[in-house]
Amino acid sequence: RRPMQPGYGYGYGPPQGYAPAPGYGMPPQQPAYGYGAPGGPPPRQSRENTAEDLDRIARTIHVGGIRGLKGTPGVNPGEEITEDDLAAFFGSDGEVVGVRINGANCWIEFAEAAGAISALAKDGTESGGHHLRVSASKTPIRSNGYLKGRQIQLERAKERATASGSPAPTTAAAAPTEAARQMSVDEIVHAIRVDVNHAVEASKARGKLVTVAPPPPVAAVSAAVNAGG
């Protein structure tokens, strides 16, 4: 009979080829993909809403269930529902100042919060074959596709700026005035000549400038020297 090896049974050698079971003495594995993976993309930072954003959110609704929105594939031009159409439809709830369409979703911003509250009553209703899903928006409209609404917002921003005494916003920078326009080289030279001529004439009129005849040409001086010499 073979002698018994310390720590082993009869005829059995030490176990080989078996790695420790996961979770025992081994560090946890990192996921291959996702935000937890080393070198993966950082978590997206959400934009913090300002006081103005919160006010606009309270006046904005999100609408789903409308078919044929502008930009929907397969919808013929002229048959799609545009920002103007949405503003006209929800205009019965209040003055619309903003509309955004993105895919099958749209957002409506009202001038007053009462308009958004009134529009929420349309949730679950049907209009023209569209089953409306209306809910309070979680974000403000940052890309307004309603031209008339943008003009209304601009006018009201000007009124607030006038009331507070701050400069009113404009849609585009003012055109430069003639004095602020950059002059060309020829214009600069011409302006200098005009200024010099004016200065000379003014000095002559005051008797402070004596006109001196210009010196004779070099050729004439050389001929006189040769004739005298």
Ramachandran angles phi, psi of 88, nearest 5° = -70, -40
Residues in the chain: 229
pLDDT tens across 141-198, in order? 999 999 998 888 888 888 888 888 777 666 544 444 444 445 566 666 666 776 666 6
Longest Cα pair distance anywhere in the chain, in angstroms?
A: 150
| pTM: predicted TM-score of the whole model, two decimal places | 0.53
70-100 b/e with 16+ CB inside 10 Å = b?
beeeeeeeeeebbbbebbebbeebbebbbbb
For residues 72 and 104, the answer to whether their CB atoms sit within 8 Å is: yes
Tokens describing residue 13: 């050698």
Calpha distance 73→59 (Å, rounded):
30
Q: Strands (DSSP E) along 27-156, which ranges? A: 60-64, 96-102, 105-110, 126-127, 130-131, 133-136
Q: How many helices (H) and strands (E) does the chain have?
A: 6, 6
Calpha distance 102→86 (Å, rounded):
13
53 contact partners, CB below 8 Å, separation of at least 6: 140
Query: How would you write the pLDDT of the chain (229 residues) with one tens digit per residue?
Result: 555 455 444 444 555 555 555 555 555 555 544 444 455 566 666 678 899 999 999 999 999 999 999 998 988 888 899 999 999 999 999 999 999 999 999 999 999 999 999 999 999 999 989 999 999 999 999 999 999 988 888 888 888 888 887 776 665 444 444 444 455 666 666 667 766 666 667 666 666 555 545 555 555 545 655 565 5
Tokens describing residue 186: 């020829």
